Structure 1
Amino acid sequence: MDFGELVHHQTKTFPKEERFELTSQFKRASDSIALNIAEGSAGTDKQFYNYLGNAYHSMHECVSCSSKAFLRKYIDEEKNEENRKNLTELAKMISILRKKISQRL
């Protein structure tokens, strides 16, 4: 949830011409992480495992979006590194959770 809010705040400074492009893509991908975790947690272990995979893919999409934002000078190097650090931690947590669930399947 926190990462989606961080991205929402960062994208407020993106140029207006990016509103339906990178801004939208980055916000949707970052929100998708939390939304997939929430949606999957209500299902079976197999469903949750799959939704966690979707969240993991959204994290990779966020890495690319953050890199694009940095290359286009919409965010500075510090914010890009902060994004990557947050995404690395999320990836570790999701990977561990997926491993635990896979042991039950």
Structure 2
Amino acid sequence: MRDFRKYGVWEQSHKLVLELYRLTKGFPADEKFGIVSQIRRAAVSVATNICEGCGKASERDFARFLGISFGSCQEVEYLTLLSKDLGFLDGHSYDLVQFEITSIKKQLYHLIKKLNAES
């Protein structure tokens, strides 16, 4: 069994969740059940699926959960773009989030590739 805390990609995704919770506190109240909820769920899904995958016995199952995590990153990427375009997220915050998402996606991609080669 793997310890999710030992993966840098999990640590970075956890920090992203905390940052997105902080940023979305400033979104309009009428978006609480819309974009705010969706961004938060997608961001949490990135970190959660890494954790869940760590509990799987095979490399193939671990890679599958990392793939789900990657998909959630894509969702966060779009939702933050939408938030910026709607004026809920300033350009600087958007750029920082995008940098983190890109980094997480690269790490997930390489880890998935490595696991698939081993299985």
**Shorter chain as normaliser: what TM range?**
over 0.9
1:80 corresponds to which residue? 94
CA distance in 2, matches of 1:70, 1:98: 30
Uncovered stretches (5+) of structure 1, i.e. residues with no partner:
none
- 1:3 equivalent to 2:16? Answer yes
- In percent, how many aligned pairs have the same letter? 26
Residue-by-residue CA offset, 1:35-80 (whole Å, 9 max, x unaligned): 0000011102111111000000000000111011101111111111
1:15 maps to a residue whose letter is P
SS in 1 for 2:114: helix
User: Given the two structures, how large is their TM-score scaled by the length of structure 1?
Assistant: 0.97
Root-mean-square deviation (CA), in Å? 0.6
1:70 maps to a residue whose letter is K
The aligned length equals: 105
1:57 corresponds to which residue? 71
- Structure 1 stretches of 4+ with a deviation exceeding 3 A read none
2:5 corresponds to which residue? none
2:62 corresponds to which residue? 48
User: Given the two structures, how large is their TM-score scaled by the length of structure 2?
Assistant: 0.86
Deviation at 1:82, TM superposition (A): 0.8
1:17 corresponds to which residue? 30
CA distance in 1, matches of 2:111, 2:64: 12
SS in 2 for 1:20: coil
2:115 maps to a residue whose letter is I
CA distance in 2, matches of 1:67, 1:100: 30
1:23 maps to a residue whose letter is V
Greater RCO (CA < 8 Å, at least 6 residues apart): 2
